Amino acid sequence: MAKKAKVQFECQHCGYISPRYLGKCPQCNSWNSLVEVKIQDTTDRRVRTTWTGEKTKPTKLAEVVPKKEPRVATKLEELNRVLGGGVVPGSLVLIGGDPGIGKSTLLLQVSQQLAEIGGKVLYVSGEESAEQIKMRAQRLGSIDTEFYLYAETDMHEIAQSIQELKPDYVIIDSIQTMTQPDVTSVAGSVSQVRETTAELLKIAKSNGIAIFIVGHVTKEGSIAGPRMLEHMVDTVLYFEGEKHHSFRILRAVKNRFGSTNEIGIFEMRSDGLHEVANPSQVFLEERLAGATGSAIVVAMEGSRPILVEIQALVTPAMFGNAKRTTTGLDFNRVSLIMAVLEKRAGLLLQNQDAYLKAAGGVKLNEPAIDLAIAVAIASSYKEKGTEPTECFIGEIGLTGEIRRVNSIEQRVKEVQKLGFTKVYLPKNNLGGWTAPEGIQIVPVSTLSETLKKVFG
C-alpha cells in the first residue's frame, strides 16, 4: 500500500507553517493566505559540494586560509559605490524594484561589462525569451562572446547548466519565476522562493560564483516572498524612481561587504542607464529664482554630499483640521518641526495646510535637513524668499536649539563647488576645520535666531 504523503499549510505572505488549515494567519493576521504544501522526504538531502566533488568538512578557525580575491569593478562607478567597491566573488545580491523601473536593463548592462572585462556570464531569464533579451542587448551596446543566455525556470536544469558552463557570474531574472521540481507549490510561492534561493546560495558559496537575483516587489514596496529571503542573501539593493521621470536611484539596505548608506544615481535613456556624475546640479537646475517656500540643504548619502531643494507650500486651511502632506520627507519629522516653529518661533501654523517635498524624487531622512525644512516652511508662511546662493544645515531640537551635525567640512566644500556663497550651520560645528574661500559661514544656535537672520 502506497504511503500517504504528509501535508502542511504555509502562509503565502509571511511563511508561517501550520499542521492544519487556518482561516487567518496567526503571525501576519492575513486572511485565506494558508495553502496546502506536501512535506518532502528529507532522507536524500544533498550536502554542499564544489565542482570538484569535494564535500565541506569542519575546519579549525586557525587553519582557515582566507582567499584574497579582489573585487571586480564594473564600468558603472555608481554601482561600484553602492556595492562597496565592486562585485565580490561568491556573493549573492538581491535587486528589487517596481515593474518597468529598469532592473533587467541595469543587470544586462552590468553583464555585458563583466563579460568584456574577461568573466564568463550566464543570464538566466524566466520571463523573457532569448530573442527578446538579444534585442535589448543590441540596443544597449556591444555583445561579447562570453555572454550566455538561458531561458529556463527549472532550478535543477539551471544548476546542471551552471556546473557544466562554470561561469564567473550568474543573473537570475527573476527569482519568483524559478521552481524546484521537488516542491509542489506554484512558482512564486513562499516555499518555491525559499528553496530556489537556498540552492543559489549553496552554488554561490561553494564555487565562488557571484549571483545577482531580481526580486519582484509588493504594492507596499517590499520584496515579495518570505522575509527570510533578505536574510539569506549578502546584499539587498532597491532600484527606485518614477516611471515618468528619467532618474533612478540605486540604494543598499543590506550589505555584508560595504556600507548601507551609499546611493547611486542613474538616468534612463534610449540606449540604457547612464551615470549621473553631479547629482546636486541635477536636483537644483530647475529651481526658480526668488520663489518663496524653497530652501537648499546638503544631505549626506553615505560618503557623498548632495545638494537638494526642499519646497514647502503653506496655505490657510479652508475647513476642518489642517492637512499635512510630504513627498520624499518623513511625515513625523515634518510634524515635529512645525510644532517647534509654532511653539519656539511664534508661527501660527495650526490652521495652515502644509505640503512639503524634496525636489527631484530623492528621499531624505537625516537630522541635518531639519533647518532647511523649517526655513522653507517659514519662507512660504511669511511670503519671503531666501537668497539663491545660501544654504541651510542643522538639526533642530524640541527646545528650538540648532544641534551639530556630522561631516560638516564635506558639506561646505560641496556648497562651495556649486557656487553658493553663504551657509547657515550650527554654532557648535565651528572649530577644527577651515572654510573654503568665498564662503560666508553664519553660525546659529536657535531656530528663532536663524529666522531673524534669514528674513529680518
Flag whether 337 is marked binding.
no
Flag whether 103 is marked binding.
yes
Beta bridge partners of 33: none
Whole-number Å distance between alpha carbons of 37 and 34? 9
Whole-number Å distance between alpha carbons of 176 and 178? 6
Flag whether 126 is marked binding.
no
Whole-number Å distance between alpha carbons of 226 and 214? 15
Instruction: Give the number of residues written for the chain.
Output: 456
In single-letter form, the type of residue at position 231 comes to H
Answer whether 426's CB lies under 8 Å from 403's CB. Answer: yes
Answer whether 378's CB lies under 8 Å from 447's CB. Answer: no
For 276, how many CA atoms within 13 A lie in the half-sphere containing its CB?
A: 21
Label the pairing between strands 147-151 and 7-11: unpaired
- Spell out the residues 6+ positions from residue 244 whose beta carbon is closer than 8 angstroms to its own: none
Flag whether 98 is marked binding.
yes
Q: How far is CA 451 from CA 205, 371, 415, 445, 455, in A?
A: 57, 10, 21, 11, 6
Flag whether 100 is marked binding.
yes
Whole-number Å distance between alpha carbons of 184 and 37? 6
Burial of residue 3, with CB atoms counted within 10 A of its CB: 0-12 exposed, 13-18 middle, 19 or more buried: exposed
Of residues 235, 247, 240, 309, the one with CA closest to residue 81: 235
Name the binding residues: 97-104
Annotated binding site for ATP: 97-104
